[in-house]
Amino acid sequence: MKWLIVSDSSCDIRTLDGLAPGVEFGLVPFKINIGDKEFVDLPGLDTAAMLQAMTEHEGASTSACPSPGEWATWFEKADNVIALTISSNLSGSYAAAMAARDIVLEASPNKRIFVLDTLSDAGALASAAELANRLIGEGKDFDAICKAIKAFNDAGHIMFALSSFENLVKNGRVSRVVGFIAGHLHMRVLGRRTADGRIDFFFKTRGEHRVLARILEEMESTGYDGTRPVVIGHCLNPEAAEALRREILARWAKAKITVIPLAGLCSFYAQQQGVIITY
């Protein structure tokens, strides 16, 4: 195989449609540990069952990033590798991928392996994978593709709309009192990516309609013009995702919008009713 586009499972997509000739797409999974149960974030994961297990488990749940060995298994399969990871300030996936890169290149120095720390997650990785595939199909060379997807990624934005705080409470990120009050007041919290790939929770309100309206305001303030692809990921909340899709098209009629269910890792953090949008 000549080309490989591989991502950790924070990308939320399970396949990459329309692969260019000579290209394979791969997933390196996160694991979510809830009590004595392990949920592997690959196609076939029952996200609803995972969330139910989280609700029933009284203690904290954890996630584990892919190991260097898991990344290396994929890197060994191709001559040219484009690897995409969740933000290095949210997970150890990037460090593991870089360790795997060093191991594989030591044994096979003629391979070319590019690992992109997206400083993001979810649809940002999916869009970067789609761009890489398109550029490979157009016959661009390895260095030009790496440069293009990094520039594309650096110009992107991501927002997280949360309505459940149970996991944040259990993991000590939010106090039990604050989580209880926010839940009973039907609070919605909106976060965005910082420059170094962390999450800044910058807006809170009551009701889903208001937080969706704030997302549109933020898109306008960051200069969105309808030309970049939009990915809306939702955790068991297709109604909110569809409402947001319609509102975006009402303002930017030519926008290309993809709506997908969040996979395991992103559902673990966004929780039920959560929405993640990248553009």
**Edge-to-edge strands of the sheet including 257-261?**
199-206, 187-193, 158-162, 275-278, 230-234, 257-261
Nearest CA-CA partner of 213 in 161, 268, 178, 274: 161
Residues in the chain: 279
pLDDT > 90 in the chain, percent: 84
CB 24 within 8 A of CB 78: yes
Give the pairing type, strands 275-278 and 158-162.
antiparallel
What pairs with residue 141 in β-bridges? none
Enumerate residues 6+ apart whose C-beta is below 8 A from 73. Answer: none
**DSSP H or E stretch at residue 145:** helix 142-154
Supply 42's token pair: 């690959």
d(CA 141, CA 17): 21
Number of H helices, E strands in the chain: 10, 13
**Helices 142-154 and 123-137, axial angle in degrees (round to 10):** 150
Chain centroid, CA 51 distance in Å: 18
Residues of the chain with CATH 3.40.50.10440: 3-30+65-154
199-214 tens-digit pLDDT: 888 898 988 899 999 9
**DSSP H or E stretch at residue 215:** helix 208-221
CATH 3.30.1180.10 for the 158-278 domain, yes or no = yes
Instruction: Classify 46 as helix, strand or coil.
Output: coil
pLDDT along the chain (279 residues), means of 10: 95 97 98 97 96 91 96 98 97 98 98 98 98 98 98 97 78 60 74 91 89 96 97 97 98 98 96 95
Predicted local distance difference test score (pLDDT) of residue 172: 62
186-196 tens-digit pLDDT: 788 899 999 99
d(CA 119, CA 86): 6
Could you list the beta-strand ranges (E) of 35-155.
37-40, 62-64, 80-85, 112-117
Residues of the chain with CATH 3.30.1180.10: 158-278
Residue whose token pair is 């999974």: 29
Say which CATH architecture domain 3-30+65-154 belongs to.
3-Layer(aba) Sandwich (3.40)
Predicted local distance difference test score (pLDDT) of residue 166: 75
CB atoms within 10 A of CB 202: 13
Give the pairing type, strands 80-85 and 112-117.
parallel
Q: What's the Cα-to-Cα distance from 39 to each of 61, 98, 171, 222, 267, rounded to whole Å?
A: 11, 25, 18, 36, 12
